[in-house]
Amino acid sequence: MKGRWAASLLAMILVSLTLTWSTGALGQFLANGPLPPVPVPPDNPQTDAKVRLGAQLYFDTRLSADNTISCATCHAPKTGWSNPHPTDTGIRGQVGGRNSGTILNAAYMRVQFWDGRAATLEEQAVGPIHNPIEMGETLENVVRKLNGIPGYRAQFNTVFGTDANPDGIAKAIAAFERTVVTGPAPYDRWLAGEKSAMTPAAVRGMNLFNGKGHCSPCHSGPAFSDQGYHNIGAGMDRKDPDLGREVVTKDPRDRGRFKTPGLRNCALTPPYLHTGSEKTLADVIAYYDRGGIANPNLDPLMLPLNLTSREKADLVAFLEALTGTQPNITPPALPEAGPAQEGGSR
C-alpha cells in the first residue's frame, strides 16, 4: 500500500512540475495540501533548452560588473537556495540591507522581493544585475558581454531566435528558477494518510501552528504564505528602519510591512526574517512568542503567545517536517569567452 501511494504521489509531483497552472485559479493555490502545478506565463513557456540556458546564466559571475557575483552567490543550492548570511554581499564587498531569502518555490509567489517591487519572476531575475550593491552591472553591458561569447550567442538564437537581449535574459533565468521547487515533505505524507510520517511533536506543533501560535492566518496554503504583507516589528527599533512595502506604495500604512515568505524547507534556509536577525527556527519562535517589536503599524495578530518550552520545541518540529526534496544541482559548464571578453568585464 505504501509503495503504491508513494508511486502515485511521485507521479503527481512530476506532472505538477510540467503542467501550466492558470494564474487565475487562486482557489487552487490557496487550498491545503501539496504544491499545485508551477504557474507558467503564456509568453514564457518552459523548454529544456531555455531552462539549460537559464541555469548557465544563474551561475555565471560574468553577469556582474567585476565578474565575481552570480545569482547563485546569494541563492546557493547547498544552502537551501538562499544566503547563510544575514544580508546580501555584492560586488566590492558591499553589504545589502535585507536577507536574500530563498529561490525555492519563488515561482508560486505572485510578486517578488520582500517589498513586492517586482511583479513577475522575469522582472525579479534581472533586478540584481543593475542593483549597484549586488551585481552592479547594466543590462546593456551584460548583453554586450553575452553576445561576445559564441556559445551564449548561439544558445540565445536557438531558444529565442535572436541574439542575447534583456528580455531573453530575464525569461531564461526565470524559466530555470521555475524548476527550483520543493518536493513532498513529511507533512504532505502525513496529510495523505501516512500517520508515521510526522513525529508526535511535529503533529502537536501543527496543531499549535493552526491554533495558539497564530501562524496559519499568514502562513496559509500549500506554499505556507498568504502572499500578503505584514508588519511583525522586525527591525523597527532601529534608528533608520527599513520602510518595506511603503517604499513601493508610498502609503504610510505600509510602513514596516514585508511579504510573507513561504515556509517549505525553511529549516534549510537560516537566518530568518528580512533582517536576517534570527539565527535559528527556535529564535524565530521566541521572537513571535514575545509578540515582535512594538511600533505604530504592528500587525494586530502580533501578540505575546505565552508558549511553554515544549510548545516552542513542537513548533520547530513541525517547521522541520515541512522539509521536502529540492534540486541540488552541480553548477553547469559555462560557454567560454571569446578573445574580446578575456581579462575584463567592460
Whether 264 contacts 224, CB under 8 Å: yes
Q: Rounded distance, CA 118 to CA 148, Å?
A: 29
CB-neighbour burial class of residue 200 (10 A; exposed 0-12, middle 13-18, buried 19+): exposed
Helix locations, 178-242, DSSP H: 186-191, 200-209
How far is residue 171's CA from residue 304's CA, in Å, rounded to a whole number? Answer: 44
- Residue 138: what residue type? T
* Angle, in degrees to the nearest 10, between helices 150-160 and 139-147: 100
- Nearest partner of 106 among 208, 216, 180, judged by Cα: 180
Handedness of CA 47, 222, 286, 258 (dihedral sign): positive
- List residues with catalytic annotation: 134
Residue 97, all three cell numbers = 540591507
Gap between the Cα atoms of 32 and 165, Å rounded: 40
The cell numbers describing 132, all together, are 549597484
Q: In the chain, which ranges are continuous DSSP H helix?
A: 2-16, 26-30, 48-59, 71-74, 121-126, 139-147, 150-160, 166-177, 186-191, 200-209, 246-249, 281-289, 309-320
Give the C-alpha separation, 108 to 128, whole Å: 20
Neighbouring CB atoms inside 10 A of 140's CB total 10
